[in-house]
Structure 1
Amino acid sequence: MNKLEATRKLEALSRQGRTVFLLRDLQKIFPEDSPHALKAGLLRLVDEEILCRPIKGVYVNIFSPKDSYLLEHVVKALRRGEYTYVSLESALSAYGIISQIPVDRLTVMTTGRSGEYKTPWGTIELTHTSRSILNILDATVETQSPLKQATPATAIRDLRRAGRNTHLLDIKEE
């Protein structure tokens, strides 16, 4: 891949709202490249600051317009095919049930595996849930963000099930 061709393709995808890519997405975008050539080309694009690699296997187009939900877009890419929703401290803070605002951390429940990922924009904390898909759909709400959000009762229940610290809960809100 050459830099001009890659920039054109990424710019076209940016106009469609695509900002975050997995390695397998980029293999489809640049099908003419062998796996070795693709990795070398991606390394060049990262070095030239056209792409950013916040997590191994995840790439962000630097020139795409960013919204305040970039971490959530990264989560959607990381756990594609799994059910994920904002919960725990992030959701409770949004509802005003805890007074602390997690500035540099996004807490998410997922049917995929747990993990913690540090990115230039903050830390993503994924906690596994074995709840059924129907239960998850009933216990979450749509918001303006790319991910669903737990209802207040669900976020409190998730906090307790995950064995997290509950001393920040405002009891009268609960």
Structure 2
Amino acid sequence: MNFALKVTTALHLAIKNGHFGIFTTRDIGLATEESVNDNFRKKLSKGVSKRWLLKVCRDIYALPGNEPTKRGVLEYIASRLHWDKFIYVSLESELSRQGIISQIPFGYLTVMTQGRSGKIETRYGTIEFTHTSRKNLSEEDVYYDPDTRIFRARAKRAIADLKRVGRNTDMINEEVVND
């Protein structure tokens, strides 16, 4: 079986069995039982150029015609990119979702991470990771959202994060916060 057929068959089967549809290089290696090395990465790159594989961002892929349309695509990608760090949605993304600010950031996700800060451009939008050294977060600060499979800041925590990183707080609707 050639490499393209092996990969697409394995990934289609994974999606059929409930996988989200976004795959890391390691996921593909596990699904095809191949070692992830430079040669493997070159084959994936060739798959992108031949269009039987879509590059979402660095080391993240999807299948053409089988791209995820579910809610939480950016959240899923964020959690896969920082799989070894605690992350949670905060700042403008979470405040907008809770109706505390009126602006709605389409295709943009702001995430606090104990890992490295940075912006990642994906085919579905931009993920902005902002470093935090906070380690003692409680249920008063964050909660788990099972729909998007990620932790989210509660309003008070998101506002505190916004202030801590020096973002514009003028857009906060105080009436909504005090309810």
1:123-164 Cα offsets, whole Å, 9 max, x none, are 1001111111x4155411222212111101111011011111
Alignment match of 2:53 (pick from 31, 51, 54): 51
Residue pair 1:11, 1:64 contacting (<8 A) in 2 also:
no
Does the residue aligned with 1:157 lie in a helix, a strand or coil? helix
Match among 149, 153, 173 for residue 146 of structure 1: 149
- The 3 A distance-change label for structure 1 pair 18 and 173 is closer
CA distance in 1, matches of 2:34, 2:133: 40
Q: Of residues 23, 39, 42 in structure 2, which corresponds to 1:40?
A: 42
Structure 1 counterpart of 2:56, which letter? P
Paired residue secondary structure (1:172) = helix
Q: Write the distance in 2 (CA, Å) between the matches of 1:130 and 1:36.
A: 34
Q: Distance in 2 between matches of 1:32 and 1:89?
A: 41
Q: How has the CA–CA distance of structure 1 residues 137 and 27 changed in structure 2, closer, same or farther, with 3 Å as cutoff?
A: farther
Deviation string, structure 1 residues 39-77 (Cα, Å, up to 9, x no partner): 232123212333222222222233254312111111011
Deviations 1:87-131 (A, max 9, x none): 100110011110000012101111111110111211100111111
1:119 corresponding residue in structure 2:
122
Rounded to whole Å, the distance in 2 between the matches of 1:23 and 1:157 is 36
- Unaligned runs of at least 5 residues, structure 2: none
Residues 65 and 34 of structure 1: CA distance in aligned 2, closer, same or farther (over 3 Å): closer
Do the aligned partners of residues 172 and 6 (structure 1) sit closer, same or farther apart at CA in structure 2, a change above 3 Å counting? same
Structure 1, residues 5-43: CA drift from partner, whole Å, max 9, x if none?
211101111123142222233333333457243123212
Match for residue 160 of structure 1 among 150, 160, 163: 163
> Which residue number corresponds to residue 4 of structure 1?
5
With structure 2 as the length reference, what TM-score do the two structures score? 0.86
The counterpart of 1:101, out of the listed 99, 104, 115, is 104
Cα distance in 1 for partners of 2:49, 2:138 equals: 40
Deviation at 1:170, TM superposition (A): 1.0
Secondary structure of 2:11's counterpart equals: helix
The percent identity for this pair of structures is 34
C-alpha RMSD over aligned residues: 1.9
Contact 2:140 2:154 in 1 (8 A): no
Q: 1:89 aligns with which of 78, 92, 103?
A: 92
Query: 5+ residue gaps in structure 1?
Result: none
